[in-house]
Chains A and B, each alone.
Chain A
Amino acid sequence: MSTTMTEKNSTGASVDELIKSEQRKANVHFKKSNRANAIATGLLWGCAGLTLLILVYILGFILYRGFVSSNILESEYIDRGTIETSIGLYPGSSVVIANKDLRLKSIDYEDLSALLKGKPSNWGNVNEQDLKVHAYVLKSAKGDFGKKTTFLESSEEIAEAVAKQDGAFGVIPVKDAGILKDYKVNTISVEALSIGVNPTVFKIENNIKLRYIDRKMLERILKGKVTNWQEVGGIDLPLRLILPPTGSYEYHAFLDIAGVTGDKIPESAIESRTATDYYERINGYPGAIGLSLRTEGDKYGAAFLKYQYRKTKKNIALWFLFEEPKRAGKVGGVSSIIINTVYMVLLTVLFSTPIGIGAAVYLTEYARQGTLVKILRLGTETLAGIPSIIFGLFGFIVFVGYCHMGVGLLAGTLTLTLMILPTIVRTSEEAIKSVPRAVRAGSLALGAGKWQTIRKVVIPAAAPGILTGVILAIGRAVGETAALMFTMGFDYKRVKNLTSSARVLSTHLYQLVKEGISFDRAFATATILIVIVLIVNVLSTKLVKRKY
């Protein structure tokens, strides 16, 4: 008895301990595996999140830049236009007015004088609008004018002419600005303020040369916080800030940009009484800097420092969709390119849908499983895997070459048809397979023939699925580029017939980027493409949901 008791006791104790130690071990193990599990789960979440992030970033970036153009520009003018500016035409300030249809809010002095000289005869280079330039000034105006500039007697006449004529602009003295409310014209602000500096600033020392300053640097300089050009990326040279004469245009601009009031002007600034005084100091003191109204600065022969700024404006707008592209897409919109794209898509769908559905019907309803079906399936799969550039080559040899279609709409569409055929065949097959057997059996039992059943019962029942395939195929066709480069061409005019070369959205985007024509236009075009892709996606998922 006693021995068994002790045995029991001893084993009981050891079991307890054993259990405890095992529990401890298990706890450690659990904690470890819990931690490993947590890390692993975190990794998986991270990967999925990264995938999502990539998509959001790509779409967001392109859509954002599609709607907001944002470019860093360098110019001799500060991006600060004013409606009333002295531009030398009349004594005192002038006001620039323009026709309502001109998409222009501000213009710099250089562009303005060039336009008055009649140098660009088209607005294309100034605001990317394809309109002829018509300039109107008063007879009393002084300056350098081109032959196309019209001289009129009064400001009223100018305003009336500008309101009537497309692409017209005019300059009137500021004292007549009151009449403008009676005419349908826009006032344009003029950027005529430059940064005048002493030429010593541009010296090269130790491979350092000041090329430009940006807005932040300018603000710091005008606030008197910069004492040496080194601090803004220049050479080792003391910076001398010259204060414009009180009350001048430059003086007001100075206060405005520096963000200070009259009594808080930096003490280090060197004052000047008159304009002559002012420019003598800028031209004479090494390292001098001062804001300069361009007409004045030119008069005194000042040197100007370049100014770098970020220009943001609205990018894509409705007019972009409805205007014809000009000059390889640099000017105007994409209307003809959209029309070409629509033609391409319609023709491709017209060619590929019947063939695709036919193939799918054969594969699902007629073919007996065997070698033939295997070969047919393999063919479809191989076709789906062939790179688009090889389709392009094939189209180039066969449709363009042997069939004498030329590089144009028809050759391109036929190439695309072959490319998207597998998509349509596969989705249609799935759709037809998912039609319940009973539907077919019912139709056949009522005495309908096989083809009748397929045509009147099966295909209508499978229609949403087939449509999904067609929509996906459209998405692919719209985005295709490589296959179209040598089969459809790059002509950006509206297609006239089946053999005329046609540029579509994707090839247009490629040309804009490759030739560096305009990144703003490229973003706008990419935005249209992405919107189409989004619509295709939404439609196809909606249809899939309806099917089930």
Chain B
Amino acid sequence: MTETTKKQMQVEKRIRRRNLNERSVEGVLLVCASISVISVLFISFFIFQRGLPLFKIISPAKFLFGTDWAPTRDPNPGYGVLPFIAGSLYVTLGSLVLAVPLGIFTAVFMAEIADKRIVDLMRGVVQLLAGIPSVIYGFFGVIVVSKFIRNTFGGNGFSMLSGSIILAIMVLPTIINITEVTLTSLPKGIKEGSLALGATRWQTIVKVQIPAAKSGIIAGVVLGMGRALGETMAVLMVAGNAPIMPKGPLSMVRTLTMNIVTDMGYASGDHLTALFTTSIVLFLFILILNLSVNLIKGKEEDQG
């Protein structure tokens, strides 16, 4: 009797120890899983903490809508970032204009037309395009794209258009990937129904499948937009980096990211603060884009 109780007690002890162990393991894992969230919170906190004090010396409206960026002018420095907001938006939209049709058509090709071997090849191509570092895209832009722009349209070749072309190549994989996944995951009935009603393959693709995959495609485009907005190195190397309001596709532009990188090396005092304030603007843009992707995805899940 005593031996069994002893054994029972031992077993219970082991179970208790194991439970304790399990619980502590779970705690550690929870910490690991929270690091992402904590990082996001920390990043937001520190960027706001360092950037917001600028509004003590300049009003937010003047900061956002001012076109005069002269942080080193003494006295009366200027902290207007409108040229950079405009630059970021123009370069990003330009890249989307180039990349979205190409990306969607390529994705349709992969999902609908190509046989398996070609699909595998194209998947590899897209994966490689996504894997090439941005500094290499920038280098390629400096050597090839800017030269092409210089020879074709004149100017010095470092322009908004060059930046858009390079960014278009960089966001292409994001758009292709998400569009292809959305298209292939559409229920088969949609396509078959359309074909059975006598629609041609092309009609089915344009009028049935692409509309059905709309939310996925938009999510891909928005994600690509986020990547283009946040891209630094490639545009820094090809877009010219002049802190003025962009006038046309051939004018040199400075984006929000370029502004941070360019001045970071030597800025101090209010100038440095203004760079963090610039990053707040960028951060908010990205956050809004990310949230809208999540909203689109959520809506899709609700519908499904």
| A residues at B contact (CB < 8 Å) | 33, 36-37, 40-41, 43-45, 47-48, 50-52, 54-55, 58-59, 61-62, 65, 354-359, 361-363, 366-367, 375-376, 378-383, 385-391, 393-394, 396-398, 418, 421-422, 425, 449-451, 472, 475-476, 478-482, 485-486, 506, 509-510, 513-514, 519, 522, 526, 529-530, 533-534, 536-537, 541
Interface of A is mostly: helix
For the complex with contacts A51-B122, A387-B257, A478-B133, 13 further pairs of A-B residues with Cβ separation under 8 Å are A48-B118, A50-B106, A61-B143, A62-B139, A379-B37, A383-B40, A389-B261, A391-B43, A393-B264, A479-B135, A506-B135, A529-B136, A537-B124
**Contact, CB under 8 Å: B106 / A47:** yes
What is the distance, in angstroms, from A520's C-beta to the closest C-beta of chain B? 12
Binds A, one of B66-74, B78-86, B280-288: B280-288
**Contact, CB under 8 Å: A480 / B133:** yes
**Contact, CB under 8 Å: B260 / A389:** yes
**Contact, CB under 8 Å: B21 / A451:** yes
**Contact, CB under 8 Å: B129 / A54:** yes
CA distance A394 to B261 in the complex (A): 13
CA distance A386 to B202 in the complex (A): 38
Q: Please, which residues of chain A bring their CB within 8 A of the CB of B202?
A: 33, 36-37, 40-41
CB under 8 Å from chain A, chain B span 263-280: 264, 275-276, 279
Q: Please, which residues of chain A bring their CB within 8 A of the CB of B290?
A: 381-382, 385
Binds A, one of B156-164, B185-193, B228-236, B245-253: B228-236
Q: Please, which residues of chain B bring their CB within 8 A of the CB of A55?
A: 125, 128-129
Given contacts A381-B290, A390-B47, A481-B233, contact A51 B176 (CB under 8 A): yes
Specify which of A50, A362, A422, A451 is in contact with B22 (CB 8 Å cutoff).
A451
Per-residue A-contact encoding for B95-114, CB less than 8 Å = 1, 0 else: 00000011001101110111
Specify which of B26, B30, B279 is in contact with A389 (CB 8 Å cutoff).
B279
CA distance A486 to B134 in the complex (A): 17
**Contact, CB under 8 Å: B279 / A481:** no
**Which of A41, A45, A58, A449 has most B Cβ within 10 Å?**
A58
Q: Please, which residues of chain A bring their CB within 8 A of the CB of B1?
A: none
**Contact, CB under 8 Å: A50 / B102:** yes
What is the distance, in angstroms, from B210's C-beta to the closest C-beta of chain A? 12
B208 within 8 A of A: no
B29 within 8 A of A: yes
CA distance A59 to B169 in the complex (A): 13
**Contact, CB under 8 Å: B139 / A358:** no
**Contact, CB under 8 Å: A514 / B237:** yes
- Which 3 residue pairs spanning A and B have beta carbons closest together? A479-B133, A387-B230, A358-B32
Q: Please, which residues of chain A bring their CB within 8 A of the CB of B136?
A: 58, 62, 479, 509, 526, 529-530
B151 within 8 A of A: no
Residue of B nearest to A477 (CB): B133
Given contacts A366-B29, A451-B22, A541-B127, contact A479 B260 (CB under 8 A): no
What is the distance, in angstroms, from B246's C-beta to the closest C-beta of chain A? 20
Given contacts A379-B36, A421-B36, A449-B21, contact A33 B124 (CB under 8 A): no
Residue of A nearest to B25 (CB): A451
**Contact, CB under 8 Å: A393 / B276:** yes
B294 within 8 A of A: yes
Given contacts A33-B200, A379-B37, A482-B257, contact A358 B29 (CB under 8 A): yes
CB under 8 Å from chain A, chain B span 188-238: 200-202, 205, 223, 226, 229-233, 237
Specify which of A387, A421, A536 is in contact with B35 (CB 8 Å cutoff).
A421
What is the distance, in angstroms, from B144's C-beta to the closest C-beta of chain A? 7
CB under 8 Å from chain A, chain B span 28-69: 28-40, 42-43, 46-47, 50
CA distance A397 to B286 in the complex (A): 20
CA distance A88 to B189 in the complex (A): 88
Residue of B nearest to A422 (CB): B36
| B residues at A contact (CB < 8 Å) | 18, 21-22, 25-26, 28-40, 42-43, 46-47, 50, 101-102, 105-106, 108-110, 112-114, 118, 121-122, 124-129, 131-140, 142-144, 169, 172, 176, 200-202, 205, 223, 226, 229-233, 237, 257, 260-261, 264, 275-276, 279, 282-283, 286-287, 289-290, 293-294
Residue of A nearest to B144 (CB): A61
Residue of A nearest to B50 (CB): A397
CA distance A386 to B283 in the complex (A): 7
**Contact, CB under 8 Å: A381 / B22:** no
**Contact, CB under 8 Å: B128 / A397:** no
CA distance A482 to B260 in the complex (A): 10
Residue of A nearest to B140 (CB): A58
Q: Please, which residues of chain B bring their CB within 8 A of the CB of A47?
A: 101-102, 105-106, 109
Residue of A nearest to B19 (CB): A449
**Contact, CB under 8 Å: A51 / B126:** yes
Q: Please, which residues of chain B bring their CB within 8 A of the CB of A51?
A: 102, 106, 122, 125-126, 129, 172, 176
Residue of B nearest to A452 (CB): B18
Specify which of A362, A375, A513 is in contact with B138 (CB 8 Å cutoff).
A513
**Contact, CB under 8 Å: B113 / A362:** no
Specify which of A41, A52, A381 is in contact with B125 (CB 8 Å cutoff).
A52
CA distance A37 to B136 in the complex (A): 38
28 A-B residue pairings within 8 Å (CB atoms): A36-B202, A37-B202, A44-B106, A44-B112, A51-B102, A51-B126, A51-B176, A54-B129, A59-B132, A356-B32, A366-B29, A376-B34, A383-B39, A386-B43, A389-B257, A390-B286, A393-B47, A393-B260, A450-B22, A451-B22, A479-B131, A479-B136, A481-B133, A485-B261, A510-B138, A513-B142, A537-B124, A541-B127
Given contacts A62-B136, A388-B232, A482-B134, contact A393 B129 (CB under 8 A): no
Q: Please, which residues of chain A bring their CB within 8 A of the CB of B276?
A: 393
Q: Please, which residues of chain B bring their CB within 8 A of the CB of A58?
A: 132, 136-137, 140, 169
Q: Please, which residues of chain A bring their CB within 8 A of the CB of B205?
A: 40
Q: Please, which residues of chain B bring their CB within 8 A of the CB of A475?
A: 131
**Contact, CB under 8 Å: A367 / B33:** yes
What is the distance, in angstroms, from B15's C-beta to the closest C-beta of chain A? 9
**Contact, CB under 8 Å: B37 / A376:** yes
**Contact, CB under 8 Å: A510 / B233:** yes
Given contacts A51-B102, A355-B35, A359-B29, contact A382 B287 (CB under 8 A): yes
**Which of A50, A397, A478 has most B Cβ within 10 Å?**
A397
Residue of B nearest to A393 (CB): B279
